A and B are shown apart, each in its own frame.
Chain A
Amino acid sequence: MGSQGGFGQSKEFLDLVKSIGEARSKAEEDRIVLNEIETLKRRISEPDIPKRKMKEYIIRLVYVEMLGHDASFGYIHAVKMTHDDNLVLKRTGYLAVTLFLNEDHDLIILIVNTIQKDLKSDNYLIVCAALNAVCKLINEETIPAVLPQVVELLGHSKEAVRRKAIMALHRFYQKSPSSVQHLVSNFRKRLCDNDPGVMGATLCPLFDLITVDVNSYKDLVISFVSILKQVAERRLPKSYDYHQMPAPFIQIRLLKILALLGSGDKQASENMYTVVGDIFRKCDSSSNIGNAVLYECICCVSSIYANPKLIESAADIIARFLKSDSHNLKYMGIDALGRLIKTSPEIAEQHQLAVIDCLEDPDDTLKRKTFELLYKMTKSSNVEVIVDRMIDYMISINDNHYKTEIASRCVELAEQFAPSNHWFIQTMNKVFEHAGDLVNIKVAHNLMRLIAEGFGEDDDNADSQLRSSAVESYLRIIGEPKLPSVFLQVICWVLGEYGTADGKFSASYITGKLCDVAEAYSNDETVKAYAITALMKISAFEIAAGRKVDMLPECQSLIEELSASHSTDLQQRAYELEAVIGLDAYAVEIIMPADASCEDIEIDKNLSFLNGYVEQALEKGAQPYIPENERSGMLSVSNFRSQDQHEASIHGLRFEAYELPKPSVPSRPPVSLASATELAPVPEPSYPRVTQNVASVPAVSSTDPSDLRLRLDGVQKKWGRPTYTPSETSTSTSTSEKTVNGVTKVDAARDTIYSKVRDTTYDSRKPDAEIPLEKQKLAASLFGGSSKTERRASTTGHRAGKASSHVIEKPQASKASDKTVAEKTIVQPPPDLLDLGEPAVLSRSPSIDPFKQLEGLLDSPQVPSNSNHGAAGANKDSDIIGLHAETAGSGPSSGIVNPVPTNKNDLDLLSGLSNSTTDNALGGTPTAHSTQVSKGPNTKDSLEKDALVRQMGVTPTSQNPNLFKDLLG
C-alpha cells in the first residue's frame, strides 16, 4: 500500500500483504514480518539492484514500519532514492523519507541539498514533491537553507505550487516563528491571490498569526468579511462547491478568524453582523457540512461583541442541533450551548430536557461534553446536583485520565460553591474514596486544614460539630477495603487530631482503628507514618487529660515493628511515641498541645534559648562563633559581638541551606502579613514580640512564621477562602464592600432556599416518580438558577406569580420529606426545618422583597438609605433561614446572625455596585482567620465578609459575576 499500490508490484509483495491480512494472531503476523525483514535486509544490500526493484523494496520497508517494526537498515536507500532523477523514484524516495525520518535525523543533511535542487526544478511536480518533504523534514536549523527558494515559489505560475509554498512557509512559522518573522507580510499579499485556493491556503497561517496577535490584523476585518460574503454568495467557481455548499472549508476558516478579530471589539464586530446573519439564513442545515458551517457561525457569534439578533438565530440552530437524532449534532449542540451561555445564560433553560437526555445518553463522548457544559454553568444553586452527578459518573468509569479530570473538577466546584461545610466534607470523602490516588495531594492538605480551622464562622461549636461529623464519617469509611493512600492520610490525621475530642469515642477505640489501618496498609510508609503520629497525638491527649494510657497489644506490636523499620522516619516516630508515653502530663501538654494544628510554630531564628549556654561557654573561655563569611575578614571579637547583638533583631541568623521555599505570592502587604501572624492565638509569652518584629520588618517575609503551618501554598481557590489579596482590597473603603456583600447575600440566600426545596422534592420522590417527572425535577434543580435569572429580569407581577407557585409546591415537598425525615441521619440537614422556615420568608417578603427594593433603588437613587434598611432587614431574615437550612444539624446555637452591622449597609449602594473594581477585588478578599484577637478595621471587615461568604457558600469571585449582572439586569 505504497505510492504505487495497485499495479507493478511483484507477486512476492502481494503475497506478503495477503498473508499479513490473513494472519490469525499478532504472533503470526510478527513472524511473517520478521521473515520479510530478513529477506529485505539481504536483498537490499545486494549490488546493482534494478531501480524498479529497489522502489518496491522501499515500499515494502514502509509497509514493515507501518506494522510497527524497525526498518532503519533501509533508510539510507530511501535517502539515495530521493537523489534519483526519475520522478516516480524520486517521489517514492521522498514519501519513504517523510515517513521514516524526523526533522532531527542524521540523514536529513543528505537530503537538504536534493531538496534545494528540486525546489528549483522546472517540473512543478518535482517542486511539489520537494515542498511536501520540506514540511516534514526541515527543522529550525535547516530552514535558512531552503527559505529563499520557498519564498520565490510564492510567485510560481502554478497555483498548486503557490498553495504548497504558503503551507510550507506556514510550517516554518509553526516550527520557528522567528525565522520567518520578516516574511509574514507575504501571507497578507497572497490573501489577494487570483486563485481562491491560494487565498484559502493563506487563511491557515493567518489564523495562527491572528491567534497570537489580534491587533495587528484588525485592518483585515473588512477584507475577510468581503471574502466571506463573496464565498457565501457563490461567487467562487463551481469546482469549489462541496455537497452544494460554496467552499465550506474556506467559510469555516474565515468564521474562525472573524471570531478572533471580533472578540471584545464592538467596531470590528459590527462589520460582521450582516454576513454572519446571511450565512445563518442561507446555510443548508440538512447536510453535514452545512451544519459544520452553522456551528462555526455560533462559535463566531458567541465570541464577537454580542448582537441580540444573531444570538437569537444561534439559539434557534442550537435548538435544532439538540433536537436532532444524530449524536454528532447533539454533541455540537451541547458544545455550542456551552459557548453561548457565556453571553446569554438564559438559553440553557430552554434546552434543559435535551441536556438531561444527553447526560443519560449511552454515548460517552456526548456525556462528557454534557458534563463540561454543566461544569460551565455550575453555580451555588445547582452545585449539589451537578457534583453528585459527576461523582456518580466518576465512579462508573475506568478511564483514569478522565477520572482525574472529573475528580479535580468536582473538587474545584465544591471548593467554589459548596452550600455547607457538611456537604463539602461528604463530597470530598466521596471523591477521595473513589479517585483518591488521582487527586492532587494538596487537595488532601486543604481538606485537613479546613477541618482544623473550621470555616471561618466565629462559632467554635459549629467547628467542633463539623469535626465530630468528619470523625464519624471516617470511622465508618475506615473499615472499607482498599482505600486510596491519600484518603487514608487524611483519615489518620483527622482521627489523631479530633478522634477523641468530643468524648464520643474512647481513645482505645480510635487507637485500635489506627492500628488496623497501619496493619492493613503495611506497604504504605506514608500512611503508617500518619497513623503512628495520630497514635502519638491520641496518647498525648489522654495523658494531658490525666487519664491513664493502656497500651493495646496491637499498638505495642506496631511500635515494635516500626522501631525496627527500614525507614528512619518511621523509626523516629515510633521512638518519639514511646518517649512521649513515658513523660508526665505537664511535659506532654507542652509537646503536644490539644487542637493546636492551626497554630503557628514559632521558629526562634536567633536561637535565643541558647544564649545562656553560649554565655556560659564564652565565660569559660570558648571561642566565639564567627559566621562563615566573616571568618576570613579577621574581625575583632568584640567588634563582631556588638554588631551581632545590634543587628540580630533585624537580620537574624540565616541558614541559607534550610531556607523555606518562597511562598507562592511573593510580595505581601504588611497588613495581611501582620494579621496572618496574629490569627491563631499562640499561648507563648514571646509571641507579641515576634509579631512586632515581623510587622516592622516585613522584608523577612520569606521565612515569616505565618508560613510555617501546613504548606498549602499554591492550592488554588481554597474553599470559600480566597487567596491573599493585593493591598488595594484592604485599603478600599469598607462601605462599598459591605453593600456589595449585602446584595450578594440576598441572591445567594434565595438561591440556597430554592435549591434546597427542589432538591428535597427531587430526592424524596425519586423512587416512585415516573421518568419524565424525574427529569423535570432534575432539570429544575440544574437550571433553577437560570430560571430565576429570567424571573428577575421580568416584571414584578410575573415574579410574584412564580413565587406563589413555589408556595404551592411546598406542601408536597414537606409531605414527601416528612416521610424521609425519619430515615435521615443527623448528618443530613432535616429538610422539614427548611420547609417550615420558608413560608415565613415568603409571607414576609412581599412587603420587603429585596429585589424589588433593589430595583427601586436603581430607578430612584435619591432614596437609598430608606430602602436599604428594608433590604438589609430582608437579608437578615432570609439569611437566618439559610443558616438554619445549612447547619440545622448542628443545633440551635449555630443559627448565628451574620456579624455584618446593619447600619453600615446604609452607605451608598450604587457607588458600591458600580464600582466594578471592587467587585473584582472581592474575589480576592483578604483571608483572615476567625479569631478572638481584635484587629484593625480592615481585618475586621474582611473577617466579617469572609464569614458572610462562607455562610452563603458562595465566593463572589470574578468567575461568578453573574450574580451582580443578573441583579442589575
Chain B
Amino acid sequence: MIKSVMVMNTQGKPRLAKFYDFQPVEKQQELIRSVFGVLCGRADNVSNFVEADSIFGPGTRLVYKHFATLYFVFIFDSSENELAMLDLIQVFVETLDKCFKNLHTILDEIIFGGQVLETSSIEVIKAVEEISKLESASNAIALVSKSVSGWRSR
C-alpha cells in the first residue's frame, strides 16, 4: 500500500502532501521534514530508494525522483515494488507535464485509497479532462439557472 505522496521543493517546502493513512497536521510536518532531511543528504548519483523505517515504521520504503527544483516522493510498504513505484512517479510527472492543473484530481485518478488505480497518463488525462468538462458545464448551467436542478435532470 502507498502510505503517502509528497512533492516538495529543494528547500524542503511542501508543494503537495497526501497521506493515505490519516496523520495530524503536526505529524505531517514532522514527516515532511524528516523526509527532506534524508533526501537532501543524498548525492546525485545514488539510488532512488531509501529505507524509511525510522520515519514511517518498520518495512516502509521511500522512492523519490528529483526534477529541477522538485522532489517527488512516494512512501509505501513492502507490498509494492520499488522500481514500479519509480515508474508511478514517472506516470504522475508525465501527466503533470501534459496538463499542469488539478494536481489532487490527477493524483486521485492515479492512486486510490493507497492503491495504484491507473498507470496510463493518457487515461488519467482523459478522466481529468472529462471531470473539468463536466465541471465547467455544471458551472455554466449553475450560472444560467442559479439552480442545480437544471443540470441534475440532464
Contacts and interface: CB of A to CB of B under 8 A. Distances in A.
Contact of A330 (B47, B84, B88, B148): B47
Interface size grouping (class) on chain B: 35 or more
A93 to B, nearest CB: 13
Interface in A13-47: 20-21, 29
Contacts of B1: 174
B117 A167 contact: yes
Nearest to A330: B47
Interface string B40-60: 001101111111011000000
A295 B116 CA distance: 19
A201 B117 contact: yes
Contact of A102 (B22, B84, B86, B115): B22
Nearest to B63: A328
B152 A85 contact: yes
Interface string B65-96: 00000000000000101111011101100000
Interface string A86-103: 111001000100010111
Given A1-B16, A328-B47, A402-B54, A288 B104 contact: no
A132 B108 contact: yes
A6 interface: yes
B31 to A, nearest CB: 11
Given A136-B113, A207-B79, A239 B123 contact: yes
B87 A289 contact: yes
A328 B86 contact: yes
B120 A239 contact: yes
Nearest to B23: A102
Contacts of A566: none
A763 to B, nearest CB: 31
Given A135-B112, A365-B50, A332 B82 contact: yes
Nearest to B55: A401
A220 interface: no
A252 B88 CA distance: 13
B84 A5 contact: no
A401 B14 CA distance: 25
A252 B101 contact: no
A363 interface: yes
B138 A88 contact: yes
A255 to B, nearest CB: 9
B113 A167 contact: yes
Nearest to A251: B84
A454 B12 CA distance: 55
A168 B88 CA distance: 21
A197 B29 CA distance: 35
Contacts of B43: 362-363
Interface string A288-317: 110110011000000000000000000000
Contacts of A369: 51
Interface string B124-152: 00010011001100110010000010001
A513 interface: no
A956 interface: no
Contacts of B28: 68
Contacts of B102: 3-6
Contact of A252 (B84, B114, B127, B138): B84
A328 B48 contact: yes
Interface in A113-142: 123, 125, 132, 135-136
Interface string A431-473: 0000000000000000000000000000000000000000000
A197 B119 CA distance: 10
A160 interface: yes
Contacts of A613: none
Contact of A204 (B82, B87, B100, B115): B115
A86 B46 contact: no
Nearest to B153: A122
Given A85-B152, A91-B135, A365 B84 contact: no
B83 A289 contact: yes
A653 interface: no
Contacts of B113: 135-136, 167-168, 170-171
Contacts of B42: 363-364
Which of B88, B113, B131, B134 gathers most chain A CB within 10 Å? B113
B103 A1 contact: yes
Interface string B8-46: 000001111110101011101100100000000011011
Given A168-B113, A170-B115, A125 B87 contact: no
Contacts of A68: 14, 25-26, 28-29, 32
B65 to A, nearest CB: 11
Contact of A289 (B54, B84, B142, B152): B84
Interface string A153-195: 0000000100110011011001000000000000000000000
A69 interface: yes
B79 A20 contact: no
Contacts of A609: none
Nearest to B135: A88
B47 A331 contact: yes
A447 B112 CA distance: 51
- Give the interface centre of B16, B45, B123, B135 by most chain A CB atoms within 10 Å: B135
Given A2-B104, A248-B84, A327 B120 contact: no
6 contacts: A163-B112, A168-B113, A292-B81, A331-B47, A364-B42, A365-B49
Interface of B: 1, 13-18, 20, 22, 24-26, 28-29, 32, 42-43, 45-51, 53-54, 79, 81-84, 86-88, 90-91, 100-105, 108, 112-120, 122-123, 127, 130-131, 134-135, 138-139, 142, 148, 152
